[in-house]
Amino acid sequence: MVTLSQKIVPCIWLEKDADKAARFYVSVFRNAKILKTSYYPKASEEVSGQKQGSVLTVRFTLEGQEFVLLNGGPVFKLSPAVSFMVLCDTQKEIDYYWSILSFVKEAEQCGWLVDKYGISWQIVPSILESMTTDPDPAKVERVTAAFLQMKKFDISALKKAYEG
């Protein structure tokens, strides 16, 4: 029996294409791999509406974090209320993830984007937390005003705002 190696693992309900989505994510992140795929058994056909032998779940890791994608059909929809934050040390890294993951241009705001499978991501500079928690409220105000105008974060513009 295969068990999950993490205590808490996000399970994301997709209408379809969990296997394609998992392969896509594994291709985007350097430290990533598919761990296990499960398939719908005949016993679940009537309840799930999914055919026996079709992909049920795909378990994979991205940068050490396990995820499960579930092909559940059209019952539930994804929402930006849950997103996955990718902390980036350089503008090059932000640009890389943004160019590959952003699919819904209307959803882009303050580092947030939606990919082609409907999953929301936040592509965020690692330094942003220290900037927005600085004890100097003027710095926090300037950085916040700057990032609220951005779709994709610009580290140099954030640093300029922070420094005043």
pLDDT in tens, 8-26: 999 999 999 999 999 999 9
| Mean pLDDT (the chain, rounded) | 95
Give how far the C-alpha of residue 118 lies from the chain's centroid of Cα atoms, to the nearest Å. Answer: 10
List C-alpha distances in Å: 97 to 21, 51, 92, 122, 161: 15, 34, 9, 10, 23
Question: Is there a single domain that holds both residue 48 and residue 112?
Answer: no
89 with 158, same domain: the answer is: yes
Task: Report residue 123 CA to chain centroid gap.
Answer: 9
Domain assignment present for residue 18? The answer is yes
Please say which residue of 47, 71, 95 terminates a domain: 71
pLDDT of residue 123: 98
On whether the pTM is more than 0.85, the answer is yes
CATH number, domain at 158?
Answer: 3.10.180.10
Calpha distance 55→46 (Å, rounded): 15
Distance CA 110, CA 7 (A): 31
Measuring CA to CA, how many Å separate 40 from each of 4, 10, 44? 19, 20, 7
Structural domain containing residue 149: 83-163
Regarding beta strands 32-39 and 11-14, do their DSSP bridges make them parallel or antiparallel, or are they unpaired?
A: unpaired
